[in-house]
Amino acid sequence: MKTILITGCSSGFGLEIARTFLDRHDWTVVATMRTPRGEVLPTSDRLRVLPLDVTNPESIRHAIEAAGPINVLVNNAGIGFLNALEGTSMDTVRDVFETNTFGTMAMTQAVLPQFRARRSGVIVNVSSSVTLLPLHLLSIYTASKAAVNAFSEVLALELEQFDVRVRVVLPGRAPATAFGDNARSRMHAGFPEPYAKMVQTVFANFQQEGPITHASDVTEAVWRAATDPSCPMRLAAGADAVALMAA
């Protein structure tokens, strides 16, 4: 029986990844949430729900201790943000990087001693397809995820000698998760007036029909990253992300 620890399981992709690994019976799942709500997942003796805020070193230490040995870490917790750089405070820039980038690095650092000692383990980092094509008003979010891509690729080289694998999953736009609403709650300062037309165009483009990503696309990519040693370093998840990667 293998154990997977997933960050950010209260909603969206993290919740679906936890459900998927619970459904596939040879896995124990450590589903972590900032505010644990066990009721969102089915009851199972292969499930543990632990509190974890990836921006808090004490919280990381407690969660890793409580989890015991794990085989796969999925760094899924993340926050979104959209605005022109001129409308973005440096506090917001730091918040986005604290969760998306530094949280991923800190969690990875916390599991590496046991992975290295056991000469086995997989780190799956959930990035974004926005790193494949520059999009208006997403400079900070894109930078936070592009850093995750670069970090993962170098780390993969560093850990090869210990038989520890690192993979990156790049989901496309998934309007069905709470991600957009969560991001909007961070955008109360409004957009700078000179960017008003651009903002209008960006939001109009969001309304257009086109391929999108479903949580199931992400869970399948994470499943492959976790279980198939021959899978590529970067895995696009969702029809839009797959098309972008092929372009």
Catalytically active residues, by annotation: 141
For the record, the structure tokens of 213 come out as 């990503």
Note whether 97 and 129 are within 8 A (CB).
no
55 sits near ligand NAP (criterion: CB under 6 A): yes
How many chain residues touch ligand NAP (CB under 6 A)? 29
| 87/171 with CB nearer ligand NAP | 171
178 sits near ligand NAP (criterion: CB under 6 A): yes
| 56/120 with CB nearer ligand NAP | 56
Where does the chain have alpha helices with state H?
12-23, 57-67, 90-97, 103-118, 139-159, 179-184, 196-207, 215-227, 239-246
Name which position in 3, 99, 101, 108 contacts ligand NAP (CB under 6 A).
99
Report 106-145 residues binding ligand NAP (CB under 6 A).
Answer: 126, 128
User: Residues with Cβ < 8 Å from 98, sequence gap 6 or more?
Assistant: 55
Residue whose C-alpha is closest to residue 29's, from 18, 42, 45, 41: 18
For the record, the structure tokens of 169 come out as 């999953």
Name which position in 48, 165, 167, 173 contacts ligand NAP (CB under 6 A).
173
Q: How far is the CB of 194 from ligand NAP (least distance, A)?
A: 27
Helix count (H) and strand count (E) of the chain? 9, 7
- Binding residues for ligand NAP (CB under 6 A): 7-8, 10-14, 34-35, 52-55, 76-80, 99, 103, 126, 128, 171, 173-174, 177-179, 182
